[in-house]
Structure 1
Amino acid sequence: FFINLLTSKSGKKNIFNIIVTLAVMLLFIAGSSQINKIFNYILKHSNPILSTFKAFYAPVGFSVDAIKTGSIFSLFWFIVISVLPFAVLVYVLSLFYQQSVTIAGSVKKSKGGKLINSQSGILSALVRKEMSRYFSSYIYVLNTAISPLMLLFVSIASIFTGKEVLDSFTTNPALLQHIPEFLIAVFTVMLSITATTSSSISIEGKNFWILKSSPLKPTNIFAAKILLHLIIFIPITFISIIIMAYNLKISGFVLLFVFLIPLLNIISSSIMGLIINLLFPKMEWLSEVTVIKQSMSVIVSMAVNTLLVAIPIVAYTLLRPADFMVFASFVCCYLLLLIFGGIYYLSKKGTLLFQNI
Structure 2
Amino acid sequence: MFVDLYQNFKDLFALVLVGIFVFVAGTNPTQSTTVSREGKASWINKVIPVAKRDFFIGRMVFPMILQISAMVFFIVPLIFILKLEASTALFAFTGGLAGSFPVIGFGILIDTLRPKLDWDDPQKAVKQNLNVLFNMLGAMIFGVVMGFIMLFLFNTAGLAIAYLIAMLIAASILLTFLIYNLYSRFN
Same topology, TM > 0.5: yes
Q: In structure 2, how many angstroms separate the alpha carbons of the residues matched to 1:277 and 1:241?
A: 30
Pairing partner for 1:214 from 48, 57, 62: 48
Report the equivalent of 1:189. 23
Q: After TM superposition, give the deviation of residue 318 of structure 1 in Å.
A: 4.3
- How many positions carry a matched residue from both structures? 184
The 8 Å contact of residues 102 and 175 in structure 2, kept in 1 or not, is answered as yes
| Corresponding position of 1:233 | 67
> What are the within-5 Å matches in structure 2 for residues 142-221 of structure 1?
164-168=1-5, 173=8, 175-221=9-55
Q: How much does 1:205 deviate?
A: 0.8
Task: Name 1:276's counterpart in structure 2.
Answer: 110
Which residue identity does 2:112 align to in structure 1? L
Q: Give the whole-Å Cα distance in 1 for the aligned partners of 2:165 and 2:51.
A: 36
Q: Is the 8 A contact 2:75 2:89 kept in 1?
A: no
- Alignment partners' CA distance in 1, 2:32 and 2:101: 13
One-letter amino acid of the counterpart of residue 18, structure 2: I
8 Å contact from structure 1 (residues 189, 309) kept in 2: yes
Deviation of 1:332 (Å):
1.9
The reply on whether 1:293 has 2:130 as its aligned counterpart is no
Larger RCO: Structure 1 or Structure 2 (Cα < 8 Å, ≥ 6 residues apart)? 2
Q: Aligned-pair distance for 1:302? A: 1.6
* Partner in structure 2 of residue 340 of structure 1: 177
The residue type paired with residue 233 of structure 1 is Q
> 2-side partners of 1:328 and 1:294: how far apart?
35
Q: Kindly state the Cα deviation for residue 254 of structure 1 after the two structures are TM-superposed.
A: 4.1
Could you list the runs of 5+ residues in structure 1 that have no partner in the other structure?
Answer: 1-163
Distance 2:139 2:6 in 1: 30
Root-mean-square deviation over aligned CA pairs: 2.4
Q: 1:250 aligns with which of 84, 100, 105?
A: 84
TM-score (norm 1): 0.46
Counterpart contact for 1:254–1:325, Cα < 8 Å: no
Matches within 5 A, 1:1-357: 164-168=1-5, 173=8, 175-319=9-153, 320-321=155-156, 322=158, 323-346=160-183, 348-349=184-185, 353-354=186-187
Q: 1:219 to 1:317 in 2, by over 3 A?
A: closer
Please, which runs of 5 or more residues in structure 2 have no aligned partner?
A: none
Report percent identity of matched pairs.
20
**Partners of 2:29 and 2:126 within 8 A in 1:** no
**TM-score in terms of structure 2 length:** 0.82
Return closer, same or farther for 1:299/1:273 CA change in 2, 3 Å cut-off: same
User: Aligned letter for 1:329?
Assistant: A
CA contact (8 A) 1:202 1:282 kept: yes
| Conserved 8 A contact 2:18-2:96 | yes
Q: Decide whether the 8 Å contact of 1:272 with 1:342 is kept in 2.
A: yes
- Secondary structure of the structure 1 residue equivalent to 2:71: helix
